[in-house]
Structure 1
Amino acid sequence: MTESLTPIPLTAAPAEAVLDGLDAEQRQAAATLTGPLCILAGAGTGKTRAITHRIAYGVRTGTYDPHRVLAVTFTARAAAEMRSRLTGLGAPGVQARTFHAAALRQLQYFWPLTVGGTLPQLVDHKVKILGEAARRLRLTTDRASLRDFASEIEWAKVSTLTPEGYLARAASRPEPAGVQHQAFAKLYQAYEDLKQDRHLMDFEDVLLFTVAMLESDERVAAQVRQQYRHFVVDEYQDVSPLQQRLLDLWLGGREELCVVGDAAQTIYSFTGATPDYLLNFRRRFPQAEVVKLVRDYRSTPQVVKLANVLLADRKPGGSAPWAEPLQLISQRQAGPTPQITQHADDDAEAAWIAAQITDLRDAGMPLSEMAVLYRTNGQSQAFEQALASAGISYQLRGSERFFSRREVREAMAALRTSSLVNEQEPVPDSVRAVLSSLGWSRDAPTSTGAVRERWESLAALVALADQLAAERENFSLRDFLAELDERSAAQHAPTVEGVTLASLHSAKGLEWDAVFLAGLCEGLMPITFAKEQQEIDEERRLFYVGITRARTHLFLSSASARHSGGRGKRTPSRFLIPLRKELGLEPAARQIAPSSGRTNPNNSKRKRAVSCLGCGEVLVKGAEVGRRRCANCPPRYEEAVFEQLRQWRLDYAKELEVPAFMVFSDATLEVIAEKLPSTDEELLEIPGIGEKKLQVHGQRLKDALSELGESSSVSSR
């Protein structure tokens, strides 16, 4: 937290008071302050509560100097949440950061002292440099290939492989973008040479340079180890070899390390993450204390049972290792039985989900407590359409940044001015008074569109003020602004009213009262390209993560065909078989729920067949034809570029006072994100852009694309 925040004062109450309210296992973990500690924490078992109370207890007892504790996690949002909780527990000053943020801070401080000169400039994206290196080697430079090259370089670096070392390990890996491994190793080296010549570094270099600095200069290593005496690593199942190497250097042979993780939630293996360090922790530290957190406080017994059954269905042995999963025990009262449904087509499935959401909303459940989760981002369109048709607001996770919204920026500016004048009123009252002038009212507007979106943003700020004022003593308006500043830096947005639409990967770490897991058919769950046992296992874990996001209501659905009237070639996911058995349902039958009744727009005319550029299947659904991609195949564009284009479209549509889809459809934006056209001729080649669209929106789109510049793949973390 920033220094302006007012911490809870350390009272005369005994230090043990910080352990009150913890269950037996959480208390055991929190009270174990020294020596190596491994906390195996299942989904919903309160791991963040356990480790923050452990740190606070260590500070309160004098065992820890708060300024010598480093807590490491994987997202800036999780780190900000940890700092916020520690402040609330009376333990400010503890450093909670991501691996990269902690390493960059050390690099910035020590670089002038050890290397001299200025630190290389950090580049956000690899594509521009990779493109130049590929052209020099006469390799393919289309954006899809460059994205694959970037991902392969990222994997190699976090696996601590040089270009020479990559060749020794690459034999078992697919050839990136169809390029032979030897040629790719040369590309990797050329990329590194270009960066060095231009005094640049990429995201992975931050860790590599810090490792090199600590390994080569014992004085620097000693100073870092003097600064940090106690380490906590959250989500330890997701560490890469490079991150583990850095952690070992920070430790310097010491054993004051607490790790927290769950091998059953390892879903980022494709980025180089491995659960091996978690699973072998006791082998490395034979005297380590191991605490298992299995009491699930999040989900009902019905949800927990299905999660356990899913993991138990994968028997140990076979061609890939499988760790014995934690058996969760729900601590909540019984809830409704999860539902498994099969539908005629994607539209029917989406319409059914929208109807269930309407029923839950009418029964009093906030829309913000519901989520629709799916395997690939390309599946969102059907749900967007169905929810919009039903008049249900929604938010796409990872699309629009909350703190970038105009009304939020205006609100923060107005609150900052107010804080200079009035610090006497309770914070919630001050926030309401200020935001009332910007469009907030106690009752939500009945209209939709921009007015409703603006109100929802302001209402989220009001709700956050209420929450923080209730949690913290002597909470001031300046404290609230400091909290907003930190959340803005970490993109830790408050809750916005609306159903969440998100991919399963992006849902990690979140939870809702009602969760709809959609599109659960073979080819999507598990995904088509998961062939080996290890890849199938990762898909099972991803499905497990999706199930454990639900607190009370869980809906599992699939569709037999993509469009109404299509041949029902899809089969429900193999992962549903043990779940149906557990629920006493018959095996999935061919008799399915009624069709949506929507006709396939391509049936009325004879058109030249258009095939998916990924798998070659003939496309018949309008949006798929526009994308040149079926719903089963992963996108070929960079997600970061697509989301920036969505944000531009939203802002531009608000300016024009028209719905966003009237500017360009999502399908059109996807092709734009892939092709990145720069001329009128290239724009006219994009499906969905004709002469009229070009005339009305072409120049603004070209300006937006120019501002985006070069962009690369972003990590799914």
Structure 2
Amino acid sequence: MAEKIRRYTLKQPAKAQKQYRVRYEDELNQEQLDVVMAGEGPMLVIAGAGSGKTRALTYRVSRLIEDGVDPSDILLLTFTNKAAKEMLSRVEQLVTIDTRRMWGGTFHSIGNRLLRQHADTIGYRSTFTILDAEDAKEMMESAISSLGIATLEKRFPKGDVLIDIYSYLINTRTPLELHLENNYPHFGIYRDEMINVFRRYKERKREANAMDFDDLLVNWKLLLDDYPDVSAALQRRYRYILVDEYQDTNKLQAEVVDKMAEVRRNVMMVGDDAQSIYSFRGASFENIITFPLRFPEAKIYKLEINYRSTRQILSLANASIAQNRFQFRKELQAVRGDGPDPAVVGVDDVSEQASFIAQRILELRDEGESFGDIAVLYRSHYQSLELQMELSRRLIPYEIRSGIRFFEQAHIKDVIAYLKIVTNARDELSWKRVMKLYPKVGEKTAAEVWARIGTAQNPLDAFLGGSGVGGRVSERNGDREQSSDARPPTPHSRRGAGSSLKHLRDVLSVISSESMQHNPSESIRLIVEHGYADYARAKFANSQARLDDLEQLSQYALRYDDTNAFLDEVALANPIAGEDVAVVGPEDEKIVLSSVHQAKGLEWRIVFVIWLADGRFPSQRALRVPGGIVRVKPKELHEAFELTDALVQGRGTRDEGRVDLAIDEMPEEIPHPSSSSPESELPRPSSLVPDVEIVIPGEEEERRLFYVAVTRAKQELYLVFPVMARDRGGLDILMEPSRFIRELPGDSYEKWVIGSE
């Protein structure tokens, strides 16, 4: 009898939809939600201007934590500590957990934290000092002097120039010969001497147990490349890696991230190739544009909904950036309502340009706009001079954005140097800086004192014990005595160096005590009150402003109960708000004058972009120099690369395993033409066999800069160009409107014609 069989299928119960604390569907648009809810694997998020990328980043971190990911398994890399803190604070608000266990900060701050843990692996002590730009310059100058070059070669580059060259080589992987040829041909004859100086500079850093900013990345990568056990631990340590502003990373930073993500491959890069404008700092457009080649399984997401600008402004921005051939194409869409058409304004000359802007600003104020909602943007700082004069004449208050950093001012660095001595007694630069603040102590005396104490196991103990100061001054028993007479003489004192150094000994004795090591604020106050205030009054014309800065520094230090932690923060800090601008005018509300580079990430209701003439914006240098080269296999090209006869030439596979790209145009005030690294400097995945060479025009980064400028505007946009200008000989020359204006569709703007009464 035949067996009867019935098939019965067991159905899996439907999974209940996970209930999250955060209502992601309600608080995010669909594009952001797709990013936040994405699964495992590499991701590239192309986040257009004003599209809420920070929101997408923070909500993704929150979602990961809600799904059970331990915060300590998440690494968030940003370009400012402020950005990291704001993101982590937002995450805490969303999921109400303590995010202090999460690793979030700049590349350099994370590198610092990791190297503190693994310093001994690479031959450093964990108490190493971080050299800021001024410290590094002084150490480079010391290296020059030690080789006898400074006095023999008067045209040899100074320390700060060498630091710029050295840092660029490190971060971009550019060979010295090529960099000198492209950017510093007048230094070419000093190539061998420069190599010797760089070698001595590295030795000096080692001897001082110090790292410059570049070392924080170089040594991080060294751990990943040369120490398999440490590398494996670091690669497994973080389950998810998220990188903000990826288009601004340099080659070294990209290599570090790629190596960190090599095992788990859960890396999310967030950036906008259309806002890649910092090649002059070493940022590599290649990093974001070739990400899909380095991570073939990567998913690409786009954030195109713009919450900042009107439809009219975005229409113009979209039309402009569409002219670039190399990009991830996107179309920004406005959420805000309509506004006035952008205005294209031709003026006779720079004087009329300044008059128009000043008059229009006053009209806008009368229409109810605030000065603080208005910005004037330009390609280079010198382009604002006429406008500054006109604004001053009309009593319009303004602030000028500059690169002055609070912690890099001389008086701040002087006081910080005291603290560096007591936390890292081998910090030669800080010793010499502090000693030279005292009367009768110059470079020679400071060097002699360091020669005596520098060989001791602990130079601070040797100095406090009397070495190098003309004999032992007093014995210390137990905790270091806190002398009430710790006041060095002023610069006008006639007492000798020995007396000055004894006063320094008294100050250091107090601030190096155990109790003061946990009170950096009080240490700063003591340094100022016991001598530095008198020094400042005798030295600086604006001494009161500098003393006010030091009071602010002491107040800032109140949040730290450990001097080492305070110094780490100082070394890695961004400019303090309010200290990086020059303010002219009595009112609280001021218009902003800024270069486009410094305006990135900011927004105003009303924006004027000036000097939009070919040769000025785009700059003449950008038009002369190729933007870079990328070599890839045709089958690996993706949407960011368009093959055209004008841009592609077939090449043989000259060197397997290499892909090169460099776009190195920079603001005119920083002389840095293009360069591209030879294959030997840039190891890439062996699967990439280049047989196509793509040359990127130099104007493409300039167009991205224009795109950044126009997308700063929320409501009104004015594009201004002078018809006439003067050359260096004082002759009037006819200017052609910027190609970025000429290529715009006629219906994307309104043309304004200037007349006079």
TM-score of Structure 1 vs Structure 2, range by shorter chain:
0.5 to 0.7
CA distance in 1, matches of 2:156, 2:55: 43
2:116 is aligned with what amino acid?
Q
1:303 matched to 2:387: no
1:82 matched to 2:87: yes
CA distance in 2, matches of 1:141, 1:230: 52
CA distance in 2, matches of 1:185, 1:375: 36
| Kept in 2: contact 1:335–1:552 (CA 8 A) | yes
CA distance in 2, matches of 1:175, 1:44: 35
Deviation at 1:391, TM superposition (A): 2.5
2:201 is aligned with what amino acid?
L
- SS in structure 2 of the partner of residue 501 of structure 1: strand
| Kept in 2: contact 1:153–1:188 (CA 8 A) | no
Give the direction of change, closer, same or farther, for the CA distance of 1:345–1:77 in structure 2 (3 Å limit).
farther
Which residue of structure 1 lines up, in the alignment, with residue 611 of structure 2?
519
Which residue of structure 2 lines up, in the alignment, with residue 207 of structure 1?
217
Which residue of structure 2 lines up, in the alignment, with residue 598 of structure 1?
none
- SS in structure 2 of the partner of residue 255 of structure 1: coil
CA distance in 1, matches of 2:395, 2:708: 29
| Kept in 1: contact 2:371–2:591 (CA 8 A) | yes
Determine which of 572, 589, 596 is the counterpart of 1:504.
596
Normalising by structure 1, what TM-score?
Answer: 0.62
| Kept in 2: contact 1:148–1:176 (CA 8 A) | no
Over aligned residue pairs, what C-alpha RMSD do you find?
3.7
Which residue of structure 1 lines up, in the alignment, with residue 329 of structure 2?
325
Give the direction of change, closer, same or farther, for the CA distance of 1:272–1:300 in structure 2 (3 Å limit).
same
Q: State how 1:20-59 maps to structure 2 within 5 Å.
A: 20-59=26-65
1:218 matched to 2:381: no
- SS in structure 2 of the partner of residue 551 of structure 1: strand
1:575 matched to 2:579: no
2:71 is aligned with what amino acid?
P
Give the direction of change, closer, same or farther, for the CA distance of 1:350–1:146 in structure 2 (3 Å limit).
farther
Which residue of structure 2 lines up, in the alignment, with residue 367 of structure 1?
371
Deviation at 1:130, TM superposition (A): 4.3
Give the direction of change, closer, same or farther, for the CA distance of 1:211–1:301 in structure 2 (3 Å limit).
same
CA distance in 2, matches of 1:592, 1:356: 12
Give the direction of change, closer, same or farther, for the CA distance of 1:381–1:80 in structure 2 (3 Å limit).
farther
Gaps of 5+ in 1: 1-11, 317-321, 406-452, 454-477, 479-484, 596-717
Give the direction of change, closer, same or farther, for the CA distance of 1:141–1:508 in structure 2 (3 Å limit).
farther
Determine which of 95, 112, 115 is the counterpart of 1:107.
115
| Kept in 1: contact 2:51–2:303 (CA 8 A) | yes
Give the direction of change, closer, same or farther, for the CA distance of 1:142–1:21 in structure 2 (3 Å limit).
farther
2:182 is aligned with what amino acid?
P
CA distance in 1, matches of 2:82, 2:144: 35
CA distance in 2, matches of 1:227, 1:23: 32
| Kept in 2: contact 1:69–1:230 (CA 8 A) | yes
In the TM superposition, what whole-angstrom CA distance separates every residue of 1:349-391 from its partner, at most 9, and x where no partner exists?
1221122222222222222221111111122322222222222
- SS in structure 2 of the partner of residue 554 of structure 1: strand
| Kept in 2: contact 1:236–1:275 (CA 8 A) | no
In the TM superposition, what whole-angstrom CA distance separates every residue of 1:597-638 from its partner, at most 9, and x where no partner exists?
xxxxxxxxxxxxxxxxxxxxxxxxxxxxxxxxxxxxxxxxxx
CA distance in 2, matches of 1:170, 1:582: 44
Q: State how 1:153-164 maps to structure 2 within 5 Å.
A: 153-160=166-173
Give the direction of change, closer, same or farther, for the CA distance of 1:361–1:566 in structure 2 (3 Å limit).
farther
| Kept in 1: contact 2:248–2:278 (CA 8 A) | yes
| Kept in 1: contact 2:156–2:187 (CA 8 A) | no
- SS in structure 2 of the partner of residue 38 of structure 1: strand
| Kept in 1: contact 2:374–2:592 (CA 8 A) | yes
Determine which of 707, 713, 725 is the counterpart of 1:550.
713
1:532 matched to 2:538: no
Deviation at 1:548, TM superposition (A): 0.7
1:194 matched to 2:201: yes
Which residue of structure 1 lines up, in the alignment, with residue 722 of structure 2?
559
Deviation at 1:399, TM superposition (A): 5.7
| Kept in 1: contact 2:344–2:749 (CA 8 A) | no
| Kept in 2: contact 1:19–1:53 (CA 8 A) | no
CA distance in 1, matches of 2:605, 2:130: 44
Q: State how 1:581-660 maps to structure 2 within 5 Å.
A: 581-583=746-748
Deviation at 1:198, TM superposition (A): 4.8
Determine which of 392, 396, 403 is the counterpart of 1:392.
396
Normalising by structure 2, what TM-score?
Answer: 0.59
CA distance in 1, matches of 2:212, 2:237: 26
Give the direction of change, closer, same or farther, for the CA distance of 1:383–1:186 in structure 2 (3 Å limit).
same
Give the direction of change, closer, same or farther, for the CA distance of 1:209–1:387 in structure 2 (3 Å limit).
same
1:60 matched to 2:63: no
Q: State how 1:305-454 maps to structure 2 within 5 Å.
A: 305-314=315-324, 316=325, 322-398=326-402
In the TM superposition, what whole-angstrom CA distance separates every residue of 1:675-716 from its partner, at most 9, and x where no partner exists?
xxxxxxxxxxxxxxxxxxxxxxxxxxxxxxxxxxxxxxxxxx
Q: State how 1:126-165 maps to structure 2 within 5 Å.
A: 126-131=136-141, 133=144, 136-137=148-149, 148-160=161-173, 165=175
Deviation at 1:335, TM superposition (A): 0.5
CA distance in 2, matches of 1:347, 1:390: 14
1:237 matched to 2:259: no
- SS in structure 2 of the partner of residue 396 of structure 1: strand
Aligned residue pair count: 495
2:212 is aligned with what amino acid?
D
- SS in structure 1 of the partner of residue 734 of structure 2: coil
In the TM superposition, what whole-angstrom CA distance separates every residue of 1:399-426 from its partner, at most 9, and x where no partner exists?
6769999xxxxxxxxxxxxxxxxxxxxx
Determine which of 262, 267, 286 is the counterpart of 2:277.
267
Give the direction of change, closer, same or farther, for the CA distance of 1:188–1:585 in structure 2 (3 Å limit).
farther
1:574 is aligned with what amino acid?
R
CA distance in 1, matches of 2:25, 2:400: 38
Determine which of 155, 169, 191 is the counterpart of 1:184.
191
2:744 is aligned with what amino acid?
L
CA distance in 2, matches of 1:236, 1:584: 32
1:250 matched to 2:260: yes
Determine which of 67, 71, 79 is the counterpart of 2:76.
71
Give the direction of change, closer, same or farther, for the CA distance of 1:136–1:305 in structure 2 (3 Å limit).
farther
Give the direction of change, closer, same or farther, for the CA distance of 1:141–1:72 in structure 2 (3 Å limit).
farther
| Kept in 1: contact 2:46–2:328 (CA 8 A) | no
Deviation at 1:177, TM superposition (A): 5.1
In the TM superposition, what whole-angstrom CA distance separates every residue of 1:79-101 from its partner, at most 9, and x where no partner exists?
23323332332353333211111
Gaps of 5+ in 2: 1-17, 410-544, 546-558, 560-567, 582-587, 628-697
Q: State how 1:160-179 maps to structure 2 within 5 Å.
A: 160=173, 165-167=175-177, 170=179, 173-176=181-184, 178-179=186-187
2:190 is aligned with what amino acid?
A
| Kept in 2: contact 1:211–1:246 (CA 8 A) | yes
Q: For the pair shown, which has the larger CA radius of gyration, 1 or 2?
A: 2
Of 346-355 and 140-149, the range deviating more from structure 2? 140-149
In the TM superposition, what whole-angstrom CA distance separates every residue of 1:127-172 from its partner, at most 9, and x where no partner exists?
44445539845786569876554333222101235xxx544x558x
Of 334-343 and 207-216, the range deviating more from structure 2? 207-216
Q: Which protein, 1 or 2, shows the higher relative CO under an 8 Å CA cutoff with sep ≥ 6?
A: 2
- SS in structure 2 of the partner of residue 40 of structure 1: strand
CA distance in 2, matches of 1:107, 1:497: 44
| Kept in 2: contact 1:265–1:541 (CA 8 A) | yes
| Kept in 2: contact 1:296–1:328 (CA 8 A) | yes
Give the direction of change, closer, same or farther, for the CA distance of 1:313–1:594 in structure 2 (3 Å limit).
farther
2:144 is aligned with what amino acid?
A
